[in-house]
Amino acid sequence: MAAESPRAWITLRSLAETGTSEELGRYARSLASDELLHAMFRLNRDEQTRLLTRLPPKMAASMLGDVPNELAAEILDDLAPQDGAAVLNEMDSDSQADILGSMEREEAEQFLSLMSPTEAEHARLLLAYEADVAGGLMITEFLAFPEATTIEQITAELKRVAHLDEGYHIDQIYALSPDGLLAGAVPLIEMVGAGGSTRLADLMSAVRPTKADAELHDLAAFFDHDRSPSIPVVDDRRHLVGVVTREAVDHAKAMQSEEMQRKIQGIVGGDEIRTAPTLKRSARRLVWLSINIVLNGIAASVIAFYQGTLSAVIALAVFLPIVSDMSGCSGNQAVAVSLRELSLGFIRPFDVLRVWGKELSVGLLNGIVLGCLLGAVAWIWKGNPYLGVVVGGALAANTVVAVSIGGSVPLILKRLGLDPALASGPILTTVTDMCGFLFVLSFATAALPQLAP
């Protein structure tokens, strides 16, 4: 890898403005892929548009392939439709579908109408499926021949098709029956030593396909128990329509986990990039921040209700945020586990009582330990054992509430058809804050004679 130049973006911008397309392409190819991407995002949106317009479409496609789909869709939308379609033509079918699926329907249709008919057909096929099922994850760049085809004929065809590149899945050649159905597969390595007159049918082995509507957790389970690098995808009549690779499934799982974490943290409105318009970035952040004002107002109302107790024992103010934050952390751990198990298919919405029971046992144990620790701190600090019992008991009780909510609410929301990753976090935050304040202040009110100086 070449040493990174901190001024690469300046050269890139200059060549995009005044250089020839050949000079720009030559300089871009001299940069490592990560350096090129870093340089592009030092440019503003107008400069990015100029750069991608003047680069060879294949290189522009390679750059956008490393960009989150929603952001890539925004960047492509800034290009002239013909230029954007030329870039999409150079992408793999799954990348085309992912980016087009992030656009508004009218915008996607405009690009599809300008793409090559073959590329557009493949993209439309993938767009018909959800992004996290086999049909949405598959690629249509695979090699399939009638089972009677000889190795000599296949070799000649491979030499003839000059447009095959790294986007094609060629570790296996698929054999089709006379009526066009998937009959078997032959690893490419097995063809090397075969005679030219050998037929594909003589070498092929049975292959287990998957349906186009197979879900991500089913595909992940297949690859966990099978060493195959890919799995063929068939329609209801067993016609071969695509191939899902192990890499595509691993990437989808990673993206799903990242998206869930973003939603848990309250990051809504898509991927933000600092070269996007300021007003748009501000609006995306304000969505969550505005909701949070309301949620915090609910929790603050509990404090207002017990204002007299708080005034009498001012030390409680120190422990209110500790109780809510520590129990909130326990709840977030439970949310993360439930979301992960939901995504992997380990649990279903009807498992809510079983999940709650398991979280309850952990919450009780952790709540007692954490409550004892915080209670000891309060006792030592103020020399009042009753204060330790109040804050320690409040933390223990709130930890049980937090893990109960964190473990079960995602399943309940899923059952109701709501997005558990997006809604679980705000619900958990509001309830743990409110209950934490309620436990501390109500326990303190009951023990006020022993706490007040």
Instruction: Report the range of poorest mean pLDDT among 112-116, 397-401, 409-413.
Output: 409-413
For the segment 28-61, what is each residue's pLDDT rounded down to a tens digit? Answer: 989 888 788 878 888 888 898 999 999 999 899 9
User: What is the domain count for the chain?
Assistant: 3
pLDDT higher than threshold 70 for residue 285: no
pLDDT higher than threshold 80 for residue 94: yes
Co-location of 414 and 311 in the same domain: yes
Co-location of 431 and 282 in the same domain: yes
Mean pLDDT of 268-295: 62
The pLDDT value given to residue 177? 92
157 part of a folded domain: yes
pTM listed for this prediction: 0.59
For the segment 109-131, what is each residue's pLDDT rounded down to a tens digit? Answer: 999 999 999 999 989 989 988 88
The dihedral of CA 260, 262, 266, 272: what is its sign?
negative
- The confidence band for 395, taking pLDDT boundaries of 50, 70 and 90, is very high
Looking at the DSSP assignment, which residues form a beta bridge with residue 172? 187
The pLDDT value given to residue 391? 93
| CATH number of domain containing 367 | 1.10.357.20
Phi and psi, residue 91, nearest 5°:
-90, 160
* CA dist 66 → 37, 269, 423 (Å): 8, 20, 29
* 188 compared with 169, residue with greater pLDDT: 188
Helices 81-89/69-78 angle, 10° precision: 140
pLDDT higher than threshold 70 for residue 275: no
Co-location of 254 and 325 in the same domain: no
The pLDDT value given to residue 279? 73
3 part of a folded domain: no
Co-location of 187 and 249 in the same domain: yes
Closest C-alpha among 438, 440, 434 to residue 386? 440
Co-location of 30 and 119 in the same domain: yes
Share of the chain above pLDDT 90, in %: 34
- Is the separation of the CB atoms in 256 and 217 below 8 Å? no
The pLDDT value given to residue 431? 86
Phi and psi, residue 133, nearest 5°:
-115, 170
Q: Can you tell me the distance from the alpha carbon of 332 to that of 407, in angstroms, rounded to the nearest whole number?
A: 9
Co-location of 411 and 437 in the same domain: yes
23 part of a folded domain: yes
Co-location of 305 and 432 in the same domain: yes
Instruction: State how far Cα 336 lies from the chain centre.
Output: 14
pLDDT higher than threshold 70 for residue 272: no
* 204 compared with 193, residue with greater pLDDT: 204
The pLDDT value given to residue 2? 41
The pLDDT value given to residue 4? 46
The rounded mean pLDDT for the chain is 84
Co-location of 209 and 305 in the same domain: no
| CATH number of domain containing 169 | 3.10.580.10
Q: Is beta strand 210-211 parallel, antiparallel or unpaired with respect to 230-234?
A: parallel
Last residue of a domain, one of 127, 150, 183: 127
Co-location of 333 and 408 in the same domain: yes
- The confidence band for 344, taking pLDDT boundaries of 50, 70 and 90, is low
| CATH number of domain containing 27 | 1.25.60.10
Mean pLDDT of 128-141: 88
For the segment 316-328, what is each residue's pLDDT rounded down to a tens digit? Answer: 888 888 998 899 8
- Taking the alpha carbons at both ends of the chain, their separation in whole angstroms is 69
Mean pLDDT of 351-374: 92
pLDDT higher than threshold 80 for residue 293: no
- The confidence band for 273, taking pLDDT boundaries of 50, 70 and 90, is low
Mean pLDDT of 326-331: 90
Co-location of 430 and 323 in the same domain: yes
- The confidence band for 277, taking pLDDT boundaries of 50, 70 and 90, is low
163 part of a folded domain: yes
* Residue-range definition of the domain harbouring residue 313: 278-451
158 part of a folded domain: yes
Last residue of a domain, one of 229, 264, 299: 264
136 part of a folded domain: no
The pLDDT value given to residue 199? 92
pLDDT higher than threshold 50 for residue 20: yes
The pLDDT value given to residue 310? 78
pLDDT higher than threshold 60 for residue 132: yes
Co-location of 441 and 296 in the same domain: yes
Last residue of a domain, one of 234, 264, 294: 264
- What is the residue type of 119? E
pLDDT higher than threshold 90 for residue 86: yes
For residue 19, give the 3-state DSSP assignment: coil
417 part of a folded domain: yes
137 part of a folded domain: no
Co-location of 301 and 431 in the same domain: yes
- Is the separation of the CB atoms in 352 and 308 below 8 Å? no
